[in-house]
Amino acid sequence: MIYLDHNATTPVDPAVVEKMSWFLKEHFGNPSSVYPIGRKVKEILNEARERVAATLGANRGEIYFTGSGTEADNFAVFGSVNCLPERNELIVSAIEHPAILESARYLENRGVKVTYLPVNSYGTVDLGALRDALTSRTALVSVMHASNEIGTIQPIDKIAQIAHEKGVPVHTDAVQTLGKIDVDVRKLGCDLLTVSAHKIYGPKGVGALYIRKGTNIHPYLHGGHQERRLRAGTENTAGIVGFGEAVRVYEERGKKERSRIEKLSETLKKGIEETIPRVRFNGHPTNRVLSTLNFAFPGLEAEAILLSLATKEIYVSTGSACSEESEEVSHVLLAIGLRPEIARSCIRMSLGRTNSEEDVETVLRELPEVIARLRKITAFDPED
């Protein structure tokens, strides 16, 4: 098979599987227990915490493990908006992942004023709109580091600078950037940052929220004293160990792989643009996570393209995995100005460690045929 959906999830690296199975066999203790088998687990978790912190340029004490990227996003939003009673306004971008957008909508329905920042046709957030929306009542600005659908990278450092002038903390969802581009919390200047293990060849069901020391935030899950009283619930110990190992593998080998994957992606992009007539590329041409490719094939339904490719064991997606099953048109593609019928014709290919030059050659052979065949059997005139 040719897997071109690494933004949805990645295969677990064999070293991660090995480390997790060692841990599961050898260490069942509860990290909150004070006797040796519990303490040992706590020590192992802290090694993982150290690794995640180091890759983000953070301190160990600033990393809080969660049950997913989604939970870390919810933690950032609800923990910040609930924090100070006089701050009940929220600013998010219009192209956030549902983990942020749905949290914002939930709060909006309960009286919180939410501003959805518009983006330009490349998907870059409008900084003027951010300046206009910020008030002394703003609790949080949340803008994703890069889009899962079109890959566009946001100017988080500038966003943080603008928000901080008004004393407002900034959260960024870096689920789609960790492992693909450098993610350094100090350079980004953010106060909160979300990551998720399964996007970097680690296990599913574990994420982390970076919370800069001194940031005002309330717990999102209430209960025990875990994660320095900010995230209750016995830790997903094996998952966290796997996350730490995935980060180690990334630091050791994954970083070297980045330019290979980017080159493959650029070759695929160029090939598609040269061989398929009337194809349209979505996202920023250069300031993008280059392994993310999103194309519109006007006149066709993305679903038909996806299924045709799947019969050839080429796996792509129609956008974010989370909206895959719904009939809704991508809010990201609408936000960059695509008409709904064009947005419905878009497919996303996201490359990763599993891909080779042969994969790209095969896709460049098969995709033009698939598109030509589908165009022949559809009545829709793309020039309409």
Residues at the contact surface with ligand PLP, assessed by CB under 6 A: 68-70, 73, 97, 99, 144, 148, 173, 175-176, 196, 198, 207, 321-322
Q: How many residues does the chain have?
A: 384
SS3 label, residue 179: coil
Contact in structure between 211 and 64 (CB atoms under 8 Å): yes
Q: Residue 209: CB partners within 8 Å, gap ≥ 6?
A: 63, 64, 66, 72, 75, 76, 192, 193, 194, 231
CA–CA separation, 199 vs 113, rounded Å? 32
SS3 of 92, please?
strand
Cβ-contact 221, 26 below 8 angstroms: no
**Residue placing its CB nearer to ligand PLP in the complex, 66 or 215:** 66
Q: How far is the CB of 193 from ligand PLP (least distance, A)?
A: 11
Query: What is the C-alpha to C-alpha distance for residues 50 and 191, in angstroms, rounded to an integer?
Result: 18
Strand partners, 211: 192
Place of tokens 């717990």: 219
The two beta strands, 138-142 and 89-93, are parallel
83 is catalytic: no
**In 3D, which of 278, 268, 272, 288 has the Cα closest to residue 345?**
278
Tell me how far, at minimum, the Cβ of 68 lies from ligand PLP, in Å: 3
Query: How far apart, in Å, do the first and last CA atoms of the chain sit?
Result: 36
The residues with which 119 forms a beta bridge, in sequence order, are 125
Q: Tally Cβ neighbours within 10 Å of residue 337.
A: 15
Residue nearest to ligand PLP (CB): 69
- How far apart are CB 70 and ligand PLP at their closest, in Å? 3
Contact 284, 152 (CB under 8 A): yes
Q: Which residues are catalytic?
A: 322
